[in-house]
């Protein structure tokens, strides 16, 4: 936990120090009047109380109260500013880290879990840290000040009160140790609940269409039940130990009263001292009770901080020099790659793609086509071998440099919940309005944009849910046109579109790929007959390569796939197979 707290302090050291200093100052102005209260008690029990002295003590306590109110307001403002600043810094750092790490890290970890780190774990930190760290520092400071006054008054009774500390500390350690595993399980259950709820809402259309509402809701219900049980365990397991620790404090206070009565009967304790301990002795334990609650919460926050730091310390993709390669030809040299250990996806893959040519990747599902494009874009790094652009290994270039060379248009298009204009402008944030409109016009976006309520400034909804598949594809192509990168990666964008949209998207793609190095993942072989080079992949290896005519002459895998698609193209239902609707 200490290491995690040090990590926090490094994020905004000045604010953290200022907050803790103000908390201690505030606790001092809360605790110091205790000394004057003891002086008042002694004065009241003296044979000849000095009225002017009593009024001076009251005046000093009043002044301290006013200062305390001022410091309280200042402490509250600084403490909240510190907490929100730290949480902002952490979220920004997490966002920057997610941009730098390899896509492999996303494949190995549930995206919902990553989202919970950024949102819920940082919120845990924000809530607990803002109300515990400063409070802990102030409580410890107040405990020391009150203890000093009590030891000065009578060290024996003060020592009796201190006898509770070792046992309370032991019970706190047991409680926090027992809470460690339930705390982790609680966070896991929380994440699972969020994932199941998102799954339920996202898939509600399919759940309804198959009449599985009750069955699928039972999965969400189970996650909610698990979350409830985990929450009860997280609160219930340390609870008895915290209650026992509080009971120990009460017991020690009673022992102090008995000891005080004994010392008073023996004549070794004065009435003012006994009254002072009856009044102030119980107050000594107030900071400890704060620590009991806050320290346990701090341990729970430590679990969240551990998850945050785990993401922040995830290895990032390392880059070399910030320079552009000489040319844009692409070369794979004996590349091996696997997403998971022992499960190779690409094996000893080598090929060369000349600059400003069209190369198609074909092959059965799972043969490694998408992986090839991902390695070119440096979403992952090869396990061995090299991927080169313009003669330079992509691992020797900064990731941002590689990304600047590549535009992508895939079947699955992601649009942000923003306007059409801004979604296109993501391709080049420095583009002018005229350049965005020109890209939109060339990608045929304007054909449907002007029909929308706010034209090109119409919002597209989350992931473009207010648009059709063809409209989303055109925006994706406009974005790539605006970026104007020299290398274009295409995962045949027209595979799932209707004929009218397919023709329009093909026209837009023709605008995109002019004078570019193009790599296309082909599903319809009829669309790549004019490709300069066709690479046929099977089981993670280059099975054969050449142009369309050469591969047909080889009568290999490509020729078989071609024949299958040609026969499927002429397939139709017989009259007997047509269902009679009327």
pLDDT tens-digit readout, 318-344: 666 666 677 889 999 999 998 877 788
Entry field: residues in the chain: 582
Task: For residue 192, name the pLDDT band (cuts at 50, 70, 90).
Answer: confident
Q: Quick one: three-class SS letters along 258-302?
A: HHHHHHHHCCCCCHHHHHHHHHHHHHHHHHHHHHHHHHHHHHHHH
CA 245 to chain CA mean position, Å: 36
Q: Is the dihedral of CA 233, 237, 238, 240 positive or negative?
A: positive
Q: What confidence score (pLDDT) does residue 332 get?
A: 94
Higher pLDDT, 24 or 484: 484
Token pair of 203, please? 């898939």
Start-to-end CA distance of the chain, whole Å, equals 73
The number of CA neighbours under 13 Å toward the Cβ of 47 is 0
214-257: pLDDT as tens digits:
555 677 778 888 888 888 887 777 778 878 888 888 888 888 88
Report the C-alpha gap between 359 and 517 in whole angstroms: 8
Query: If pLDDT is split at 50, 70 and 90, which confidence band does 283 have?
Result: confident
The sheet with strand 517-521 has its strands ordered as 406-409, 487-491, 517-521, 358-362, 533-538, 541-546
Q: Across residues 298-312, what is the average pLDDT? A: 78
CA dist., res. 198 & res. 186, Å (int): 18
Mean pLDDT of 282-290: 77
The sheet with strand 392-393 has its strands ordered as 343-353, 330-340, 384-389, 392-393
Evaluate if residue 579 carries a pLDDT over 50: no
Place of tokens 């845990």: 124
Confidence of residue 533 (pLDDT cuts 50, 70, 90): very high
> What pLDDT, on the 0 to 100 scale, is given for residue 576?
46
Q: What is the pLDDT of residue 411?
A: 72
Check whether 213 has a pLDDT greater than 60: no
Specify the pLDDT at position 361.
92
**CA distances for 420 relative to 425, 441, 475, 515, angstroms:** 9, 12, 7, 27
pTM: 0.65
Q: 82-119 pLDDT, tens per residue? A: 777 878 888 888 888 887 777 666 666 666 677 778 87
Q: Give pLDDT, residue 87.
A: 80
Which region among 126-140, 295-309, 326-340, 506-520 has the lowest average model confidence (pLDDT)?
126-140
Structure tokens at 389: 């652009």
Lowest mean pLDDT segment, chosen from 288-297, 391-400, 457-466 = 288-297
Quick one: pLDDT at residue 503? 64
Tell me the per-residue pLDDT of 347-376, one tens digit each, with 9 for 90 and over: 999 999 999 888 999 988 888 888 898 899
- pLDDT of 207 > 70? The answer is no
d(CA 192, CA 120) in angstroms, rounded, equals 13
pLDDT surpasses 80 at 57:
no
Across 122-145, average pLDDT: 73
Confidence of residue 6 (pLDDT cuts 50, 70, 90): low
> How far is residue 396 from each of residues 97, 349, 378, 388, 485, measured CA to CA in Å?
20, 20, 11, 9, 19
More confident residue, 175 or 105: 175
Q: What is the pLDDT of residue 335?
A: 94
Q: What angle do CA 488, 493, 495 make, to 5 degrees?
A: 145
Q: What is the residue-averaged pLDDT of the chain? A: 79
């Amino acid at each position: 936990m200490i290491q995690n707290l040090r990590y926090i302090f490094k994020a905004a050291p000045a604010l953290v120090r200022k907050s803790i200093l103000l908390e201690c100052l505030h606790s001092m102005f809360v605790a110091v009047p205790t000394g004057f209260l003891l002086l008042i008690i002694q004065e009241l029990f003296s044979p000849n109380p000095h009225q002017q002295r009593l009024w001076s003590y009251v005046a000093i306590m009043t002044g301290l109260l006013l200062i305390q109110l001022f410091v309280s307001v200042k402490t509250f403002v600084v403490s909240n500013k510190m907490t929100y600043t730290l949480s902002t810094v952490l979220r920004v750092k997490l966002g920057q880290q997610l941009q730098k790490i390899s896509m492999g890290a996303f494949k190995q970890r549930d995206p919902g879990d990553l989202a919970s780190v950024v949102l819920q774990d940082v919120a845990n930190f924000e809530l607990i840290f803002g109300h515990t760290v400063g409070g802990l520092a102030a409580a410890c400071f107040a405990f020391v000040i009150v203890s000093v006054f009590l030891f000065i008054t009578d060290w024996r009774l003060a020592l009796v009160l201190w006898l509770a500390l070792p046992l309370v500390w032991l019970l706190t350690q047991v409680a926090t140790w027992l809470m460690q595993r339930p705390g982790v399980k609680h966070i896991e259950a929380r994440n699972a609940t969020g994932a199941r709820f998102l799954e339920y809402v996202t898939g509600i259309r399919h759940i309804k269409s198959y009449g599985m509402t009750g069955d699928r809701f039972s999965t969400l219900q189970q996650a909610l039940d698990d979350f409830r049980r985990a929450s009860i365990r997280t609160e219930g397991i340390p609870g008895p130990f915290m209650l026992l620790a509080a009971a120990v404090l009460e017991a020690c206070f009673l022992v102090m009263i008995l000891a005080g009565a004994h010392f008073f009967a023996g004549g070794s304790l004065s009435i003012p001292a006994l009254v002072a301990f009856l009044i102030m002795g119980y107050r000594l334990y107030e900071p400890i009770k704060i620590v009991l609650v806050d320290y346990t919460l701090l341990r729970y926050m430590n679990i969240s901080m551990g998850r945050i730091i785990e993401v922040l310390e995830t290895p990032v993709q390392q880059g070399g020099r910030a320079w552009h390669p000489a040319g844009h030809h692409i070369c794979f040299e004996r590349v091996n790659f696997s997403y998971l250990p022992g499960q190779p996806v690409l094996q000893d893959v080598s090929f060369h793609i000349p600059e400003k040519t069209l190369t198609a990747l074909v092959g059965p599902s799972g043969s490694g086509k998408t992986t090839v494009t991902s390695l070119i874009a440096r979403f992952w790094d090869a396990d061995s071998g090299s991927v080169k652009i313009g003669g330079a290994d992509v691992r020797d270039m900064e990731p941002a440099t590689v990304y600047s060379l590549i535009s992508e248009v895939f079947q699955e298009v992601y649009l942000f919940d923003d306007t059409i204009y801004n979604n296109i402008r993501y391709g080049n944030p420095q583009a002018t309005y005229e350049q965005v409109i020109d890209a939109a016009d060339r990608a045929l976006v304007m054909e449907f944009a002007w029909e929308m309520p706010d034209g090109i400034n119409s919002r597209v909804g989350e992931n473009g849910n207010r648009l059709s598949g063809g409209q989303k594809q055109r925006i994706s192509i406009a974005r790539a046109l605006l970026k104007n990168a020299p290398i274009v990666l295409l995962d045949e964008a027209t595979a799932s579109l209707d004929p009218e949209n397919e023709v329009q998207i093909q026209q837009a793609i023709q605008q995109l790929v002019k004078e570019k190095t193009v790599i296309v993942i082909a599903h319809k072989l009829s669309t790549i007959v004019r490709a300069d080079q066709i690479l046929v992949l099977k089981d993670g290896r280059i099975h054969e390569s050449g142009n369309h005519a050469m591969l047909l002459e080889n009568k290999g895998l490509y020729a078989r796939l071609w024949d299958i698609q040609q026969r499927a193209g002429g397939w139709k239902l017989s009259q007997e197979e047509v269902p009679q609707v009327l």
